[in-house]
Amino acid sequence: MTHSADTPPVSNTNTPTQSHRKIGFEFRGDGIEYFKIWIVNILLTIVTLGIYSAWATVRNNRYFYSNLYLDNDNFRYLADPLTILKGRLIALAAFIAYYVASIFLPIISGILAIALLIAIPYFINQSVAFNNRMSSYKNIQFRFKGSYGQAFMVIYIWPILGILTLGILYPLAILKANEYFVRNSAYGTSNFDFNATYKDYGMIFLTALGIAVVVGVPIALITYFVPVFAIISPVLFGIMYFALIVYALVSFTNLFYASLNLVEHKFEAKLTITGQTKVILINLFLTIITLGLYLPAAKVRMTKYICSCLTMHANGDLDNFIAAEKENISALGEEFGQVFDFA
Amino acid sequence: MDLVLMFIDGIYLDGKTSKRHIARLEVNSDHKITRIHLATQREILSFEQQHYKVETRLGNTPREISFDDAQLFVCDNHDEIDKIISWQKKYSSKQNTWLYRLENNLKLICLSTIATIIFLYGLIIYGIPSTAKVMAHHAPQFTSQQLISSLDILDRTVFDASELSAQRQQEITALVAPYLLSYKSLQPKLVFRAGMKANALALPNGVIVFTDDFVNLTQSDDELLAVLFHELGHLSHKHMTQRMIQDAMLTIMVVFITGDVETFDLLTGLPTLLLDLAYSREFEIEADSYALTQLSNHNIPLQSFIDAMRNLEQYYLKQSAGSRESAINDFFSTHPKTEKRIKLIEQFNKKND
C-alpha cells in the first residue's frame, strides 16, 4: 500500500514514459439497429414456441458485448445457444415441478424451498462462472472461481447481520459481496482485486439517510400542520425516493469502479446524478408512450451512458495478459438463477 | 496454382495472450483461407489444414473468424466476409446470413412488430383465459381435493373462529342446506370465520366462507342467499383453479418471451398485476350472472342481490373514511364497480321480462 505508490510497478520492463494511459470504454451500439434484432428475436421466439429464446439471448448478449470497446478492441460473448437451451429446459422443468408442488402439496414445496435456499449459493457461483467464462476481451476469457462457503456468507449471513444490526452492518454486507465476486474473478490468469472500506460504503448510506431526514422530515411536518399540503406531499416523497435511488445507484457504481483493479491497472467511473436521471427519465417516458417498444433503445441509451463514464487507467500496455486453462461449466446455474429470479 | 484471390485486413489474436497483431488474411483462388500475415512480426501463419468458423453477422459488430486453438481474426470488411460465407457449402452458414437479412428487412420488421403486438394481445386477452378455463374444467377432481389445506392456511393466517352465536350459525346452515343440496356436484360446504372484514369467499374444494362482519351486515336471508349463489358461481366456473393456471401461464410466457428476465423487471411487474385484476373482474361478472340466474330459478327477488351489493359498498365506504383510501382501493380493484354490477342486474331483468 505505502511503498508501491511512490515507486514504479515492478513488472515494468518496457519504456516507463508512456506507460500510464487513460483509456475510455465506448459503446458503439445503436438503438434502431438493436430494435430490429430484438423484434426479430421476439417474433422467432413466438413462432418457435419459446425454443428460439436461447438463440435470442445469445444474439442480444453478443450485440452488447461486441459493441463494447476498450482501447479499440471489442469484447465478445461466446455462449453456445444449445448449452443455454439445455439449461433453460432443465430449469423450466424444475420451475413447473416446483409450482405444481406448491399448489397441490404445500409440505413438499416447503422442503423444496429449503433445498433451493441451500442450493442458491452454488447456483450463483455457477452462474457467475459461466457468464465470466463466456465473456472475452482480446480473445482472452474471463474467469470466476468461487467457494460455496464464502458465497453462503455474502448471500445470507452478511445481509442478515446487516438487518439484525438495523442497517449498521449493511454497508459491510455490500462491501463483502463485491469483494467476493471481484476477487474471485480473473481476466485470463490475472486476478481482479477490490479495495474499498466500510467507511466508503457507510458514507453513501449516511448521506442518503441525511438527505431523507433533511428533506423528508420538513415535508412530513408541513403536511401535519397544513393539511392542504397533503395533496402534493406524496408527490414530493415520490421525487425524494427516486432521487435517493439514483443517488445510491450512481454512488455505488462510481465506488465500485474506483475500488476495482486488475493487477496494476485501475478503473474509474464518473456517473453523475443529473446525467443518470436524464437517461432514466427519457427512457421511462419513451418506453411508456411506446408501450414497451422503446425498451431495446432504452437499454442501448443506458449502456452508452454508463460506458461513456467509464475509464481504465492502464499502467503499461494491455498485451501481456495470458489465457487460463480450459474448463467446462454448464449454463444450468445461470438459468436457474434467472428462472427463480434470485441472481 | 496458388493464386491469391483477396486479402482482408484486420486483427489477429492468438488466444494465448492478449497481444493484438495487425494482420492480413489471405484467401486463394479455391476460396480457401490459406495464410495470415502478421505485419509487425513479418511472420506468416499457415491455415491450410485448419478448420475455421465464421461468426454470423450481427448489426454492425466486427466480423470474426475463429480457427483451431482459439485463434481469432477480427475485421470490419463485411462484404469480403459475406463472400467467404457464401463459398462455404454448409447449411448452417446459409442459415446465418438469412438471420441477418431478416433483421434488416424493413417491411418484415414492421410486420413482425405489428404481428407481435397482435399476437401477445390475443394471447393475453383470449388465449390464456380460455386455455385456463378448459384446463380448469378438465383437471381431475382429486386435484381440487388436494387443495383442502387452503382453508387450513387461511385459518392459520387471517381467520379466527367465528364469534357468531351457535344459534345464528345453525339458522344460516339450515337456511342454505336445501339449496346446497341441489348443487351437490360442486360439493359445497358453508363455514363461518371471523376476520377479513365483511367478505365471502369460495375455495376450490367447495368450501364457502362467510365472515362474521359479512353475516352481521346482511339484513335479510335473501341477501345471504344471493351472495351464496355468487360464491357457488365461482365454484361452478372453477375460478380459483383457473386463476392459478393463468398466473402460472403468464409467468412462463414472460420468462420465455423476454428470455433475459432482468431487462423486463421494471415493466413486467405492473402489466402482470393489472392483468390479474382484469381477469379477476371477469370472474366476478361471471359469478354475478350465475347468481342472478340461480336467484330467478329459485324465485328469490333479484333486489336482494342489489341490497347485498349496496350494503357491502356502504360498509367499505365507511371503512375507508376511517383509514384513508386503501380499503376502498382494495375492494374495488379486484371487484367491478357496484354500479356496473347493478346495471348487469337491470340488463338481466330486461332479458327475462
Find which of B16, B18, B69, B149 to mutate to test the A interface (most A CBs within 10 Å of its CB).
B18
In this structure, the number of other CB atoms found within 10 A of the CB of residue B335 comes to: 21
Residue at B218: amino acid letter: T
- Tell whether B177 lies on the interface with A, counting CB pairs under 8 A: no
The predicted pLDDT at position A271 comes to: 94
Residues of B in contact with A105 (CB under 8 A): 146
Reading chain A (343 residues) residue by residue, the pLDDT tens digits are 334 334 444 444 444 445 789 999 999 999 999 999 988 888 888 888 878 888 888 999 999 999 999 999 999 999 888 888 888 788 778 878 877 777 777 777 778 878 888 988 988 888 888 889 899 999 999 999 989 999 999 999 999 999 999 889 999 999 999 999 999 999 999 999 999 999 999 999 999 999 999 998 888 888 888 877 777 888 888 888 888 988 998 999 999 999 999 988 999 999 999 999 999 888 888 877 887 788 889 889 999 999 999 999 998 888 889 888 776 555 566 555 554 443 3
Q: Which residues of B touch A320 (CB under 8 A)?
A: 17-19
Residue type, A115: A
* DSSP output for B314-326: HHHHHHHHHSTTH
CATH for B4-87, among 3.30.70, 1.10.760, 2.30.29, 1.10.600? 2.30.29
List all residues of chain A from 321 to 340 with a beta carbon under 8 Å from chain B.
321-323, 338-339
Residue that is written with C-alpha cell 360498509 in the block: B315
Query: Which of the pair, A120 or B139, is modelled with greater confidence?
Result: A120
Kindly report the nearest CA distance between residue A304 and chain B, in angstroms. Answer: 15
Q: What is the mean pLDDT of residues B232-250?
A: 77
A181 touches B: beta carbon within 8 Å: no
Residues B307-341: tens digit of each pLDDT: 878 777 777 777 655 544 444 444 445 666 677 77
Owner of C-alpha cell 442459415: B95
Cβ contact A342:A155 at 8 Å: no
Give B214's contacts (C-beta < 8 A, 6+ positions apart).
B198, B199, B200, B227, B312
Interface confidence (ipTM) of the complex = 0.79
Residue A178 neighbours by CB distance under 10 Å = 19
Which residue shows C-alpha cell 482480446? A138
Q: What are phi and psi of B220, to 5 degrees?
A: -150, 160
pTM listed for this prediction: 0.73
Interface test with B, best of A139, A233, A284 (most B CBs within 10 A): A139
- In A, residues 236-295, which contact B (CB 8 Å cutoff)? 287, 291-293, 295
Dump pLDDT digits (tens) for B249-266: 776 666 655 544 444 444
Q: Does A318 touch chain B (CB under 8 A)?
A: yes
Q: Which three cell numbers stand for residue B64?
A: 470474426
What's the gap in Å between the CA of B61 and the closest CA on chain A? 6
The per-residue pLDDT for range A278-309, each reduced to its tens digit, is 998 888 888 778 877 888 898 899 999 999 99
Residue B256 forms contact with A (CB below 8 Å)? yes
Cα distances (Å, whole numbers) of residue B2 to A87, A273, B6, B23, B50? 46, 61, 12, 20, 17
Q: What is the pLDDT of residue B30?
A: 81
Of A36, A138, A339, the CB nearest to B103: A36
Query: CA neighbours within 13 Å on the CB side: how many for B212?
Result: 11
Q: Give, for B327, the enclosing helix (H) or strand (E).
A: helix B326-334
- The strand order across the sheet containing B63-67 reads B43-46, B33-38, B20-28, B4-13, B72-75, B63-67, B52-54
Rounded to an integer, what is the distance from CA A24 to the centroid of its chain?
Answer: 19
Banded model confidence at residue B351, pLDDT cuts 50, 70, 90: low
Is residue A40 less than 8 Å (CB to CB) from chain B?
yes
Q: Which of A60, A95, A139 sits opposite B70 (nearest CB)?
A: A139
Contact A241, A234 (CB under 8 A): no
First to last CA, chain A: 34
Q: Which residues partner with B54 through β-bridges? A: B65
Nearest Cα of chain A lies from the Cα of B275 at a distance, in angstroms, of: 15
- Report the DSSP pairing between strands A135-137 and B200-202: unpaired
Q: Residues of B with CB below 8 A from A99's CB?
A: 248
What is the predicted pLDDT for the residue at A154? 94
Q: Where are the beta strands (DSSP E) in chain B?
A: 4-13, 20-28, 33-38, 43-46, 52-54, 63-67, 72-75, 160-161, 189-194, 200-202, 207-211
Question: At A309, is the secondary structure helix, strand, or coil?
Answer: coil
The CA distance from A197 to the nearest CA of chain B, in Å, is 29
CB contact A303 to B (< 8 Å): no
Q: What is the DSSP letter of A11?
A: T
Q: Where in chain B is the domain with CATH 2.30.29?
A: 4-87
B148 contacts: CB under 8 Å, gap ≥ 6: B205, B207
CB contact under 8 A, A319 and B18: yes
For B227, the enclosing helix (H) or strand (E) is helix B221-236
